[in-house]
A = this chain, B = another copy of it.
């Protein structure tokens, strides 16, 4: 069964295919998408994914007549840097990529974001295909945000650049470590928490199947997650308004990643804590405290953390938030849940409230 979601963005619209065994269709898909065989392709992947899936991918592409160059980056967030970006560019130039060429990103969000920024800026933009191999990458493969990190701030350097298509082979997820599975599911359930209560509850009920990578449950969850995100992005591609709701949990989450060092908490883990924090902030702003209880139970069911270790300094977290893109014109803006499945964008949040939330996230037992 192949599930298909169409991301509607006018002339930049593209399909997402989700199913088992899809990587074996990649060569045909490239031909279908109009990439000429005489233009070299560049596969970007990482050191965990390459040994498992790269040889078959290269062979499939070559069997259709393509010339293929591959660039394997070290696995991990540290590769989303300008230095690695330049190295990938060097490979692209040396391999003779031209304006009709495409970059194929096979991996998680790190590979997708980095390779997407290469595709967006090589000769001012060439073809781009996403082959996600993590659950989290269901999120990064919808919406066209591509980026690298600056030592001073995450995702600070980037572009909006849509792929031609996304091919999501569920079989590749089988080799994901357990923590990565939970981390990815954080973004899946996030889409429910923002806009679809029923889906959020479904995730809690089917947490066991999801964590066990049951193909039917996982296929459905990724389809719903992608579809919700595609809807939001379709209405606000360049994040001038509503798209910001997708950042639920990310202001605090990014600060946790920045202060702890990338990789201490995985991205999904950090935003799980951030989503718990947003629900605490919601309570301070007068919303029902049950939102917090529900949020925490949903995240916990998926094996995600919702508390912050004591060693995270309040001042450092606040400082990190100041650098965050979500601070527009000096105001502190947060995405705050109004209920499970509904959020508001709240500007002018007082720093003192955020400090209280951080303190509560560190308290043992009940935060109240």
Tell me the A residues contacting B by CB distance below 8 Å: 36, 38-39, 82, 85-86, 89-90, 93-94, 96, 98-100, 120-125, 145, 147, 150-153, 156-160, 238, 322-323, 325, 327-330
Contacts and interface: CB of A to CB of B under 8 A. Distances in A.
Contact of A323 (B85, B93, B121): B93
B327 A124 contact: no
Contacts of A124: 145, 147, 158-160, 238
A82 B93 contact: no
A149 to B, nearest CB: 11
10 contacts: A39-B329, A89-B157, A90-B151, A96-B322, A98-B328, A121-B157, A122-B157, A124-B147, A124-B160, A125-B159
Contact of A86 (B82, B125, B238, B325): B82
Contact of A123 (B90, B98, B99, B325): B325
Nearest to A153: B93
Contacts of A157: 89, 121-122
A158 B121 contact: yes
Nearest to A121: B157
A322 B97 CA distance: 11
- Among A159, A323, A327, residue most surrounded by chain B Cβ atoms (within 10 Å): A159
Most chain B CB neighbours (cut-off 10 Å) among A89, A96, A145, A147:
A89
A325 B329 CA distance: 39
Nearest to A330: B38
A325 B98 CA distance: 7
Given A38-B329, A153-B93, A329-B100, A160 B86 contact: no
B99 A159 contact: no
A156 B123 contact: yes
A94 B153 CA distance: 10
Contacts of A98: 325, 327-330
Given A82-B82, A100-B328, A330-B38, A89 B121 contact: no
A329 B145 CA distance: 28
A135 B86 CA distance: 31
A121 B121 contact: yes
A69 B322 CA distance: 18
Contacts of A152: 90, 93-94
Contacts of A330: 38, 98
Nearest to A329: B38
Contacts of A96: 322
A260 to B, nearest CB: 20
